[in-house]
A and B are shown apart, each in its own frame.
Chain A
């Protein structure tokens, strides 16, 4: 079963996130799959755990956390070749509004 937990200080040190305020870690049993950095609206899945849909899971958690803060939408920039992240955003109500020099700008809606 997947669990999203607040990152411990030890885990923050491990991932070099000690200066970040709000981070959550995704685990399956005790295995770390990835994490969210709320300060930067950043999600990361460990390389060994990719292609299993966990990126989508984390993105949905991110949207849920933003909804709790009454945020209705946000803009984000994704490198054009980051197809995995672009796919996750486009399949979760994100809309591409522009591109410039190998970067894609999305508006992500939170419902």
Chain B
């Protein structure tokens, strides 16, 4: 069982890199929530040790329970396995576990009391700030300004210090946005830091993240879309990610890869994206260029989402067959479960269609390019500075790539 395998790592001293390499696996196993896992790993990191053995692990578990008040099933099972390996009797394990539960309840009570006090102080501070809020001096809506004040900043400060520009798929990669063919949707962990925008042309004529807020949050409108998520504007950098945690499972954000490592929001999650991206940028602003801190923030905002990645072979085949006027449509074939078979259907302008594997598709596109080359100039293809497109061309017409270098034919 995965938990046993994890505990076995600590039989001898285990280096921190290996311990961290297990994080994804533990998450995928479903035995622990992402929030607990992140918090637990932060506790491991706070030990500042290069390697940990089982006594260190037991100490981490104890520290974790004492600081967070969390004695969930994963933590208790981990603790029990460590104690069994240490040869502790069942009776003692039972007592230790009971003590751990009691300790977690005490810690939780203290945390709640502290949070209550902080919340009251914050509300008071916010009320004072709102009384002094002068809408003539800000360029964003009242709802947005209020949200920023709650988080100790303003539009003017953020505009100066962090990038507020939203990018659409078209901004990131025009060819992919126009001709993309996606892989099947799958659950992945993506950092909000890598989600750069959405198809904003529809929502607003601004590409400014904060000025686009009224497209999603507007207390002056009376439709459900603009009102339903107003409470999200009460979120802060302290609690934003954790309070939205459940929603990532019940109603995952839908994200599309726009090019390698860059994503845009798809059909679901625009409200949450807007808020989380803002909170992320506020935290980045506070990091003031500290690389370690920035990495931590990037990880903090790594959330589960349903992701459609780009199938580069099918996408660029679609593009080339379309611009070379060969195809009416190039589309992915789906099976009876609505999943990709891996094959591509090419509906030809001349009539009929072909169903091709990726290998066959690459060969077919290569033949088309070589044939078209006889009649038309295709230099423009090789002048692209898009690495993924050039990588595709290298697969399709490796022989022709030798005749071209960036900027045109070789002299």
Contacts and interface: CB of A to CB of B under 8 A. Distances in A.
Chain B: number of interface residues, binned into ranges: 20 to 34
Contacts of A87: 267-268
Contacts of B201: 81
Interface string B220-248: 01011110000000000000000000000
B213 to A, nearest CB: 15
A98 B223 contact: no
Interface of B is mostly: mixed
A109 B337 CA distance: 10
Interface string A56-96: 00000000000000000000000011111011001101011
Contact of A50 (B199, B223, B318): B223
Given A51-B223, A99-B178, A83 B203 contact: yes
A83 B225 CA distance: 14
Nearest to B226: A51
A101 B170 CA distance: 12
Interface string B318-331: 10001000000111
Contacts of B318: 98-100
A38 interface: no
B338 A90 contact: no
Interface of A: 50-53, 80-84, 86-87, 90-91, 93, 95-102, 105, 107, 109
A100 B225 contact: no
Interface in B208-225: 221, 223-225
A75 to B, nearest CB: 9
A20 B146 CA distance: 50
A63 B411 CA distance: 60
B179 A51 contact: no
A80 B223 CA distance: 24
B338 A51 contact: no
B224 A53 contact: yes
Contacts of B203: 83
B180 interface: yes
A21 to B, nearest CB: 28
A98 B199 contact: no
Contact of B266 (A90, A99, A100, A107): A90
A86 B267 CA distance: 7
Contacts of A95: 334, 338
